[in-house]
Chain A
Amino acid sequence: MDANSDNANIDPQDNTSTGSATSREQGCGNVVVNILDKIDIIPGLNKDMRNVTFVLKDEDHTLGNTLRYVIMKNPHVDYCGYSIPHPSEAKLNLRVQTSEKTDAVEALKKGLEDLAGLCLYVESEFKKKIQESGFDYDPDSL
């Protein structure tokens, strides 16, 4: 939702004044990291990118653990683990080591796609089920 420039301005002391709204940042929380700083790639000793540590900013166990699980399901991945080195630092290290058939970047990409696909599937199945079994569910109620 974009803020329109003709929005009414709410002043704590005076509710009648008007003003323009500034554009709002996108993201699912108040804390938004620049997308370029979102991820860092720390390659291992070899240049072939098979063993890589990804550093994700502003992510927690939600993505870390889920991604780790999904990436480990990839048969070409030898190892995947994650850690959050310090709880007050919004930083997540994701280590991916793969066999020769793929590389860590591909494995992470596939992991992200698989996870999103899985979520989409659960979502669509959920919608289907909830509509057919007659719950008192009304998507238009909101």
Chain B
Amino acid sequence: MAALPQKQANDDALNLLRGRVIIESDHVKSVSSMEFPGLSARMDTNWNFDSFKEVPTMAIETVYVHNNTSIIVDEVLAHRLGLIPIKVDPENFDFRSKNPDDPPTDRDTIVFVLNIECKENPTANSNERDPNKRFINSNVHSSDLKWAPQGDQGVRYENNPIKPVHDDILLAKLRPGQAHCAKGIGKEHAKWSPVATASYRLLPEIILKKEIKGDLAYKFVSCFPEGVAEVIEKENGEKVAKVVNPRKDTVSREVLRHKEFQDIVQLTRVRDHFIFNIESTGILPPEILFQRSIGILIQKCAIVKEALRRRLKVLEEEEVNSGGGANNMETD
């Protein structure tokens, strides 16, 4: 990765930002990392923490308990249900109406039914100690939440039935009810947050002020995680240390503990190179999350712009109505 010229960043940041978005191919299944050299810390902070909390997901909101004889009390069970990530694209649903009198509909609500009973296993040995063998349904898992399609939901999600992201989330060590799922955002409650973690960091930079040769080179390399630095052989056979991939550095600053390196090694960060990490809960893939959070920021801009336009119009009308009296006001 070429070092980015930092001085330019101050010239005309907006123009410079364009054309400097690079995405490193570092995609591990459902976890992806993206890099934005040239972006400011502010922009990143916003995608990072704030926009994600406004990307909606579906989560269990209302739990109707018909008969719960388990040791887990209703409210605790309801809370546990609320935190289960539900695999369904929230784009297809509306927010629930703010008016509590409005009935839920198939466009804003998903219904799950949890009906499970624990029994003695008749075929188990009477001395059996393992509850999994001695009882039937001794553990309630997220897979026991059965989706009850409403309206045309059954048709719309025929090929992609709605279910919890993971089937093996332990809900309770036993017993029953029904649950309603509503669209919400993480800002209101963390259960609606689409991300497990979202973070960014600056690209670490390791500057060698002087060449590090021979045995010291090996010592230098050993101060970093594997792959950060290497010992290479120069044309004249001399062995020197070289920083290969500062991205892998954990920024432990181990190298500065050694006196011999203190004056020749400088640890810093590339101020405008961001490494962005989004870990999804599994409901939406991180690529989509990222795009939706940008979309939300764009939407915010549009809303404020429209509000500004209307406000100005109102002010103008007021001025006309007041017969331009405001113009006579003396100002300093």
Contacts and interface: CB of A to CB of B under 8 A. Distances in A.
A125 B70 CA distance: 52
Interface in A4-62: 4, 7-13, 15, 19, 21-22, 24-25, 27-30, 35-36, 38-41, 45-47, 54, 56, 59-62
B185 A30 contact: yes
Interface stretch (B13-21, B252-260, B261-269): B13-21
A24 B304 contact: no
A65 B105 contact: no
Interface string B1-37: 0000000000011100110011101010100101010
Nearest to B180: A12
Contact of B62 (A12, A73, A135): A12
Contacts of B17: 118, 121
A28 B300 contact: yes
B196 interface: no
Of B29, B99, B315, most buried by chain A (CB within 10 Å of CB) is B315
Give the size category of B's interface with A.
35 or more
Contacts of A115: 297, 301
A17 B105 CA distance: 10
A4 B329 CA distance: 53
B294 A122 contact: yes
Interface of B is mostly: mixed
B103 interface: yes
A113 to B, nearest CB: 7
Given A12-B64, A108-B308, 9 more contacts: A1-B91, A10-B111, A12-B178, A15-B148, A24-B97, A73-B14, A114-B14, A118-B17, A129-B22
26 contacts: A1-B93, A1-B94, A3-B108, A7-B107, A7-B151, A8-B151, A8-B152, A9-B105, A10-B180, A15-B111, A15-B148, A21-B102, A22-B102, A27-B303, A36-B311, A38-B307, A39-B307, A39-B308, A41-B315, A65-B46, A112-B302, A112-B305, A122-B36, A123-B298, A129-B21, A136-B29
Closest 5 CB pairs of A and B: A8-B151, A62-B50, A38-B307, A129-B23, A7-B105
Interface of B: 12-14, 17-18, 21-23, 25, 27, 29, 32, 34, 36, 39-40, 42-43, 45-46, 50-51, 54, 56, 62, 64, 89, 91-99, 102-109, 111, 148, 150-152, 178, 180, 184-185, 187-188, 284-285, 287-288, 290-291, 294-308, 310-312, 314-315, 326-327, 329, 331-332
